[in-house]
Chains A and B, each alone.
Chain A
């Protein structure tokens, strides 16, 4: 147990940081899913030749998404401070850090969801059109359910990136595990704290990946269950 090497005060700090990371990541994950999925849907359905083609809108949306995605997170965090202040009421602290995290992850998740939904066979969409489904019905009843395993897999990737980004939240006073590692492990020369932080982060990422894979499998009916277990 790494905790045996740490003083009770540092252990308490570790748990406090873990809580901050969990808070930042979970809120940012929830909000970025709520925003990213519709954004991904829009990127797909408004593309040329899809069910609601709006080429100019699609181009603008795609450019906006790329703009955010190409800005390094550390820059983005500082660059959107005025926006953060409007949303969170402050530009520093754990809650304030949630805003740039959400802004950074939403386009990533939107792109991953877009890719997943673009893979949905045109034939399925046509079959739905042929029974008189509206674009909204096609999105809700065909595109999202059919892409769900890939969307969940994309969500897992985004979540892992989000955990990584959250380590930079210390820059705006957000705290969290990354901040602990930098301030104590690095700046105060406490390698055991650094090690503890790394171990906890690895454990979190592994758990997220395992849970994500299990969830993706649970919603995937593309391959017959029986066939997979016998082969």
Chain B
């Protein structure tokens, strides 16, 4: 008899190839998909493990293959190569009735909601039960709690044409949750909604994730959606997985250019082009170093600019910056010219590092007239 490992071990142990503990809700293994030879692969050898209970975001530009990836999880799209496991069971080997039964364990919601216009809200939510062959009385008993969960109890007899976009998506969510799946796939589920409704739907998904422990795979092209809800993020570009990690880490320290560009509206990783164009790669006689400082956690609250001024008498000139919150953790990026830092640069860097900040010199800027005047005065 194998002892059941304690829950804390699930996360700690790397999920290996055979995933004996079943800690992976979804495991994608070497997935490729080619629609036409001429166009090249839409997905190119993607491997990804989604842990039980996580909200795993997948982000990419349109055409990056993210929709195809999520559709390969329930085989709405059959991959050209590779395997997909859901709750430890290989989906990609299933066909016909076995596949249909397996799909009941995977809920899915869509960008355009895909609710039946011919059925009431209750009728739409009843569909999965009817498909699964539940008796009428049982269906009638199961619908009200689902409508309660998504906040549509008062709309049971309404037709979708009488509902707003957000309410239609709630119908979609209730329908997806009806058969008590272990994974919920969200295919751009908030992309057709206004920002306020998006927030409400994301809040609902987060509640469902917490209440039911449901694993959620969420694809989007909006980083903000992931910042608000995802525990982990995968970045897809041209069909390849270019980055994967905890949301905060990806936001704070994006490794790929694609991730950085996605973050530009959210975290000030990249300088606006006109400013970036003025940076010099190497110092010249009349230049100052440009520092990019990443604040995470408590350091975001420290008055570091004031400290630089008082401690080193340097003249910081802020080029770009922003502080945001990921969950409840502050994340800020500040790009500044350490005016007149000169030989004290190593000391400046080590002092900033001692505050727990991440600092790098990203270039050099020719001294402005103001800095020059100030420098002369010192």
- Name A's B-contacting residues (CB within 8 A): 121, 123-124, 126-134, 137, 141-142, 145-146, 148, 219, 221-227
Residues of B near A224 (CB, < 8 A) are 159, 161-162
CB proximity to A under 8 Å, residues B117-167: 117-119, 127-128, 130-132, 159-162
When distances are taken between beta carbons in the complex, the residues of chain A under 8 Å from B162 are: 224-226
- Interface contact A123-B103, CB-CB below 8 Å: no
Report which residue of B104, B116, B159 has the largest number of chain A beta carbons within 10 angstroms of its beta carbon. B116
B161→A127 contact, CB < 8 A: no
Tell me the interface secondary structure of chain A in the complex: helix
Q: Is the CB of A124 within 8 A of B114?
A: yes
For A132, what are the chain B residues with a Cβ–Cβ distance below 8 Å?
Answer: 100-104, 128, 131-132, 179
Which residues of chain B from 157 to 187 have a CB within 8 Å of any chain A CB?
Answer: 159-162, 172, 175-176, 178-179, 185
Closest Cβ of chain B to A101, distance in Å, is: 31
A150 to B322, CA, bound (A): 54
The reply to whether A141 and B108 contact each other, CB–CB distance below 8 Å, is no
Beyond known contacts A124-B116, A126-B110, A221-B160: 14 more, CB 8 A cutoff: A121-B112, A127-B110, A127-B172, A130-B74, A130-B76, A130-B106, A130-B176, A131-B104, A131-B127, A131-B175, A131-B178, A131-B179, A133-B100, A133-B131
Q: A123-B112, A223-B161 are in contact. Are A128 and B118 (CB under 8 A)?
A: no
Q: How near does chain A come to B22, taking the closest CB pair, in angstroms?
A: 21
- Specify the chain B residue showing the minimal Cβ separation from A225: B162
Bound CA span A227–B110, Å: 26
B118's nearest neighbour on chain A, judged by CB, is A145
**A130–B108 CB distance below 8 A:** yes
Are the C-beta atoms of A141 and B130 separated by less than 8 Å?
yes
Per the bound structure, the CA–CA distance linking A223 and B159 in Å amounts to 9
User: Is B119 a contact partner of A145 (Cβ separation < 8 A)?
Assistant: yes
A128 close to B161 (CB less than 8 A): no
Q: A123-B110, A127-B110, A131-B179 are in contact. Are A146 and B103 (CB under 8 A)?
A: no
Q: A222 to chain B: which residues have CB within 8 Å?
A: 117, 161
Q: How far is the CA of A223 from the CA of B115 in the complex (A)?
A: 14
B114 near A123: Cβ-Cβ < 8 Å? yes
Residue of B at shortest CB range from A223? B161
Across-interface contacts of B108 in A (CB, < 8 A):
127, 130-131
The listed residue with most A CB atoms (<10 A of its CB), out of B106, B118, B176, is B118
